[in-house]
Amino acid sequence: ANGYAESQAPWALDKAGEGERVAQVLAVMAEACRFIGHLLAPVAPAGAARIHEQLGAPAPYDERGARGPGLAALLVWGAGPKDWKTAQPAPIFPRLEVVEAAT
């Protein structure tokens, strides 16, 4: 997804006035993030839920990442919201500061 964003450069497309192409690129990126959220749910359910909240596509499973439809149903391209309304972006996983022990 990151490589796609870099290769498509929606910021440059926007400056060039290519609004329709920007919308297409952002839709693909949102759908890729939706997939990533579903794939993370079993191992990082809180992070997956935050991804889906920011995408405006609430996760259809519980706080443990369980009891929802199977991945076969969730990982269908284009199954996200028809009208994406994203929330304010915020870090999904907080940065960990590693403090080295004094020797």
Tens of pLDDT along the chain (103 residues)? Answer: 889 999 999 999 999 999 999 999 999 999 999 999 999 988 888 899 999 999 998 888 777 777 778 888 888 898 888 887 888 888 998 888 888 877 6
pTM: 0.80
Q: Among 74, 20, 30, which Cα is nearest to 54's?
A: 30
- Sign for the pseudo-dihedral over CA of 35, 37, 38, 39: positive
The total of other beta-carbon atoms located within 10 Å of residue 19's CB is: 10
Residue of 54, 41, 42, 59 lying closest to 91 (CA atoms): 54
Structure letter (DSSP) for residue 100? P
